[in-house]
Structure formats: structure tokens, C-alpha cells
Amino acid sequence: MDIVQPVTDVYIDIFSALPNGVKSRITKEIKWQFVNAGTNIITCGENDDRVFFIGSGSAQVVNYSELGRMVGFATLTDSDCFGELSAIDGKPRSATVVTKTKCLIGSLAGSIFIDAVTKCDKTALKIMQGLAKIIRIGDIRIESLSLMSAEQKICALLLANINSDQKEKNKLGLDPLPTQNEIAAHTGVTQNTVARIFTQLYKLKVIERNRNDVVVLNLSYLESVLLSRRLR
């Protein structure tokens, strides 16, 4: 890790509501480092209450089964915060966060983080909203893993990643998709299954590859799969 000079111009959403004086003091306490891709920032089970922030780059929240299979929970990007659960309850880390790209990562002592949060109602509300989002996503994932077929999981992921700012209604662009390995980890299916379903969707002209991007050609088809469970 490369330690960098104090950073003051990185926007951290969770602290946006703090009074300027408090925000300035907190910013000075954050220690920033450049971290290479593939580095574990926090590891499941470790005892550490620091809270981390992403200044640039992206990271993935994952866990591993007893057989070593990776399960992906979320992707973190600029201004995202993670590690707050251990700062709040003092318990070991509940997941692992690994960098996907080279990242600028800031760390803050858990005690300082909690002190800042408890002194500002709006910041505390942002924390609660973030935790509520985690719970809702968890509920959806449990339902998905329990009730959806592999085809439904992939189609649901495609629908969730459609870029809302569309100009061509017959070609719906997707926000950058994870790799097939990451999709497999996120949906709980094998990478071979992900590859097979994508191949079918290409052949059925439901999606197509446009250079490095994927576009949806048949939105209604994806929506219908969520009801029928299988590709037709």
C-alpha cells in the first residue's frame, strides 16, 4: 500500500450533513492509501473497528462458503463507506472486502466515526438508511436464492442493470456489468451456467454485445422469464 498525503477534496456522502467544523476535523483524521487490485481491505472474522471510504476505484463485498466458493454481496465505488457494522456493535467483520481495481482507500478509527455519527441526526439517518438498504438487498437475495431458477436470476440481474438514461428504446444499454465470475458469485450459480444462459440470450437476440457493452434488444422477454422461470 502506498501512503499518500492528507486528502481533503474527496467527497464522502455519509459526512455531507456534518457541520463544516466537525467535517473538517473528521477529514483530517482519515488516513488515505493507494491499494492495488486484488487486495483484501477487511477480512471476514477479523477484529477491527475501523471504517473505510473509497476515494476512487471499486471493490467487492464477498464471503466464502466452507468449500471455498465465493459469494458476492455488493460492489462499492467512489464515496462509498464500509466497515461501519463493526464500529457500531464491536463484533468481528461479517464479510470480506477486496479491491477490484487500484483504489484510493481512506480509514477512520471506529471511535471517531461513532462520535461524529452520534452528534449529527442527519448523519445518523444516513447510516440507518444504508443499513436498511443492506437488509432489503439481503431479503431480495434470500428470495432469489430460494425461489428463482438460474435463468430468472440472470434475467433479474440484467433488468436491474439497465441504464435508466435511454435514447434508443429498442436498444436498452446496460450499466457496466460484473464479469461472469462475479455474476456467478452474486447469483449463486456456477460460472458455466452463467455462460450458458448468456449464450442462449445472444442466440435468441434478447441481448447483443456492442463493443465492450451489452444492450438489451427485447425487454419484454426478460420480464416474461421472471414469470415463467425458463428461457423459451
Q: What is the mean pLDDT of residues 66-70?
A: 67
**What domain range is 200 assigned to?**
148-228
- Residue 156 and residue 139 share a domain: no
- Global pTM reads 0.66
- Residue 183 and residue 77 share a domain: no
Q: What is the mean pLDDT of residues 51-59?
A: 94
Q: What is the mean pLDDT of residues 23-39?
A: 91
Q: Residue 196 and residue 149: Cα distance in Å, rounded?
A: 14
What is the side-by-side order of every strand in the sheet holding 70-76? 40-42, 96-99, 59-64, 70-76
Contact status, residue 153 vs residue 187, Cβ threshold 8 Å: yes
- Residue 54 and residue 107 share a domain: yes
- Residue 165 and residue 132 share a domain: no
Q: Quick one: which of 128, 134, 82, 73 has its CA closest to 105?
A: 82
Q: Give the whole-number percent of the chain exceeding pLDDT 90.
A: 36
- Residue 205 and residue 106 share a domain: no
- Residue 215 and residue 108 share a domain: no
**Domain endpoint, select from 92, 111, 145:** 145
Is residue 62's pLDDT more than 80? yes
- Residue 113 and residue 154 share a domain: no
Helices (DSSP H) in the chain: which residue ranges? Answer: 20-29, 84-89, 110-118, 121-147, 150-160, 180-187, 191-203, 219-228
> How many Å from the N-terminal Cα to the C-terminal Cα in the chain?
50
pLDDT value for 157: 82
Q: Residue 63 and residue 6: Cα distance in Å, rounded?
A: 32
Q: What is the mean pLDDT of residues 126-130?
A: 88
- Residue 214 and residue 164 share a domain: yes
What is the amino acid identity at position 49? D
**Domain endpoint, select from 145, 163, 181:** 145
pLDDT value for 9: 62
Distance of CA 169 to the CA centre of its chain: 27
Could you report the per-residue pLDDT of 184-218, keeping only the tens digit for each? 877 878 889 999 999 999 999 999 887 767 888 88
**Domain endpoint, select from 108, 128, 145:** 145
Q: What is the mean pLDDT of the chain?
A: 83
Is residue 94's pLDDT more than 50? yes
The CA-CA-CA angle for residues 148, 62, 162, to 5°, reads 55
- Residue 169 and residue 101 share a domain: no
Identify the three-state secondary structure at position 16. coil
Contact status, residue 61 vs residue 76, Cβ threshold 8 Å: yes
pLDDT value for 108: 95
Domain tally, the chain: 2
**Can you read off the three cell numbers belonging to residue 197?**
444462459
CATH number at residue 174: 1.10.10.10
pLDDT value for 167: 46
Greater confidence, 149 or 160? Answer: 149
- Residue 104 and residue 80 share a domain: yes
Q: Quick one: which of 230, 224, 73 has its CA closest to 149?
A: 230
Confidence category of residue 139, pLDDT binned at 50, 70, 90 = confident
Q: Quick one: which of 173, 198, 204 has its CA closest to 184?
A: 198
pLDDT value for 229: 61
CATH number at residue 114: 2.60.120.10
Is residue 182's pLDDT more than 60? yes
What is the side-by-side order of every strand in the sheet holding 213-216? 172-173, 213-216, 207-210
- Residue 8 and residue 122 share a domain: yes
- Residue 6 and residue 43 share a domain: yes
Q: Residue 77 and residue 11: Cα distance in Å, rounded?
A: 12
